[in-house]
Amino acid sequence: MVSFKSATMALICVVAPSVFAADSTRARRLSYPLIAGYEPQNLVTDHNALDLDVAAMEKQLKKGAWSEAHHIYKDGAYSKMYADFIFAEPLQKAVPADTKVEGKAEGGGTAKGRTIYAASANDTSLEVQYNVHDVQDSYVDCQVGALWRTHEANLSGCFKQGNGTIKIDGVGKFNYTYDIHRDNRAGRTLAILSKTAEQDMLKCAGCPDATFEKFYQYYGQPDYGHQWVTAAFDGTATSLKNGNVDFTKASNISRIEGVQKGVVNLNIWMAVIRKMNDAVYACETNSSKLKTMDWDEAVAFYTGSKEGSDGKGQGALLHQLADERCMNFNTCGADGNEVTGTSKVNHEIFQQLKLGQRNLLAGNCAEVRANKELIESRMLIPMIQGTLRYAHIQSNPATASEKT
């Protein structure tokens, strides 16, 4: 059995080995797009697109565009896009959350969305999330966030630039002012996954999550992942209870590794567990939320859109990590004895994800918790494999490098 301390050290070492070496659709559907063979019961194409933030960030890092990459990390780019409007006149009456809103789109046609939060009468601002579609390749019509900084924003489906008019269902028409670049924002970012860990995994209903609590006790800070990644971006040192790393003298290659590994292996890794814990708690408390929503979101965070419907794409998240490490350890394939293909880890994790989904639908909460715990144990394997791999590489001066 792997001890927590050993598992934690595996996460630390694999995060940045170089540092240690040198139309939200509201109606129910019969089916949604597969995620690496998993069939979600809910619309999670928007969550599944979070890997595009990772890819966009990595692209800027490879170009040496540190500021642009950091903004993508902090401000987001592709997930939970919303427009932040300022009105010329105050709202005449209250607007409930999830109210339909539409107006002219920048590229012609109609931009559509729904209010994120309720607004009171006399308010002069409103946040409207763009509708999400059930086709992964065209899941949303407006993609901005930090992408305006890299000249890669998709503005065609955004509400029209400058001064315009939107229609708020049941309320009326209002004239707005907004900047199509700076006021179209991403509500889900790579940074926020860690920055909100205290409220989402430590102090929330059904908390603390047992796994998160161990990491919190070890690192001493709930946002340890964000602190690690920020230090890598800034070229500074972390100030955690344990597991510190100093990037002050690290090369750019080392810092890039620190950012990339920290985002996926710390922030996203724990976000997957958070969503599974939310699903277990919702089951145990007979929550009114959709039975498998959190579980489906966990699958999306683990996998990402680039893996495709069959899981054979070139992804950027934990699914891809497991498939890369299996090639190093001859643990690919359903039996774990092949050097290429889907990792045994992913075979087992997706088996448990599918079983967990069935148990949630049946209300078998104890079984869902068991599914979650099994998945967590398998998620550690690629981390441990990575630690062993890099330790071996760095032990041989002939093969040691900052990234291999």
1 has pLDDT over 60: no
Give the DSSP per-residue string, 175-244. Answer: EEEE-TTTSEEESS-TTHHHHTHIIIIISSTT---HHHHHHHHHHSSTTHHHHHHHHHHHT-B---SSS-
Burial class (CB in 10 A: 0-12, 13-18, 19+), 167: middle
Cβ(80)–Cβ(129) under 8 Å?
yes
pLDDT in tens, 195-248: 999 999 999 988 999 999 999 999 999 999 999 999 999 999 999 999 999 999
98 has pLDDT over 50: yes
Confidence label for 394 from pLDDT (cuts 50, 70 and 90): confident
pLDDT in tens, 14-28: 554 444 443 444 445
pLDDT, average across residues 82-109: 96
pLDDT at res. 402: 53
286 has pLDDT over 60: yes
pLDDT at res. 294: 97
pLDDT, average across residues 104-122: 97
pLDDT at res. 4: 53
pLDDT at res. 23: 40
Amino acid at 123: D
- Residue 110 to residue 301: CA distance in whole angstroms: 30
8 has pLDDT over 70: no
Amino acid at 21: A
- Residue 189 to residue 54: CA distance in whole angstroms: 10
- pTM (predicted TM-score): 0.92
319 has pLDDT over 50: yes
pLDDT at res. 312: 94
pLDDT in tens, 67-79: 999 999 999 999 9
- Residue 190 to residue 267: CA distance in whole angstroms: 7
Burial class (CB in 10 A: 0-12, 13-18, 19+), 213: middle
- Residue 399 to residue 51: CA distance in whole angstroms: 31
pLDDT in tens, 33-78: 999 999 999 999 999 999 999 999 999 999 999 999 999 999 999 9
Which DSSP letter does residue 400 get? -
Cβ(269)–Cβ(253) under 8 Å?
no
pLDDT, average across residues 344-352: 98
- Residue 125 to residue 132: CA distance in whole angstroms: 22
How many Cβ atoms sit within 10 Å of the Cβ of residue 123? 13
How do strand 100-104 and strand 110-115 relate by DSSP bridges?
antiparallel
pLDDT at res. 21: 42
pLDDT at res. 288: 74
Closest CA to 226 of 176, 191, 198, 180: 191
Confidence label for 13 from pLDDT (cuts 50, 70 and 90): low
